[in-house]
Amino acid sequence: MKLQVIGDPVLHSKSPVIHGAMLGALGLDVSYTPQVVRRGELPDYLRWARENGVTGFNATMPHKEDLLPLLDWLDGDAALCGAVNTVCLRGGKWIGFNTDGGGAQAALEGAGLWPARNVALLGAGGAAKAVAFRLAQAGAERVWVCNRTAERAEALCGQYRCQALAPAGFDPATLRRLAAQSQLLVNCTSLGMAGCGRQFEDFSFLDALPQGAGVFDLIYHPAQTELLAQAERRGLPTLNGLPMLVNQAVLALEHFLDRPLDRKAMAEAAASALRGEEA
pLDDT at 81 over 90: no
Tell how many helices (H) and how many strands (E) occur in the chain: 11, 12
Strand 142-146 versus strand 118-122 pairing type: parallel
Residue 279 pLDDT: 53
d(CA 177, CA 76) in angstroms, rounded, equals: 34
Q: Which of 206, 248, 208 is nearest to 225 (CA)?
A: 206
For 102-115, b where at least 16 C-beta lie within 10 A, e where not — what string?
Answer: bbbbbbbeebebbe
d(CA 64, CA 196) in angstroms, rounded, equals: 17
pLDDT at 158 over 60: yes
Give CA separation, 90 vs 1, 6, 71, 96, in Å: 12, 19, 12, 10
In the residue annotation, 64 being an active-site residue is answered as yes
Convert the pLDDT of each residue in 190-238 to its tens digit: 999 987 778 999 999 999 999 999 999 999 889 999 999 999 999 999 9
Cα 15 versus chain centre, distance: 12
Neighbours of 44 (CB within 10 A): 10
Q: How would residue 182 be classed by pLDDT, with cut points 50, 70 and 90? A: very high
pLDDT at 277 over 80: no
Convert the pLDDT of each residue in 106-130 to its tens digit: 999 999 999 999 999 999 988 899 9
Higher-confidence position of 276 and 116:
116
Residue 276 pLDDT: 79
pLDDT at 259 over 70: yes
pLDDT at 274 over 70: yes
Convert the pLDDT of each residue in 32-75 to its tens digit: 999 999 999 999 999 999 999 999 999 988 899 999 999 999 99
Q: CA 160, 130, 104, 95 torsion: positive or negative?
A: positive
The reported pTM is 0.87
**Strand intervals (E) in the chain:** 2-7, 31-36, 54-59, 73-74, 86-90, 93-97, 118-122, 142-146, 165-168, 184-187, 214-217, 238-239
Residue 174 pLDDT: 97
Asked if 120 contacts 186 with a C-beta cutoff of 8 angstroms, the reply is yes
* 90, β-bridge pairs: 93
Residue 191 pLDDT: 94
Asked if 183 contacts 116 with a C-beta cutoff of 8 angstroms, the reply is yes
Please identify which of the residues 64, 93, 129, 264 carries the catalytic annotation. Answer: 64
d(CA 34, CA 32) in angstroms, rounded, equals: 7
d(CA 216, CA 276) in angstroms, rounded, equals: 24
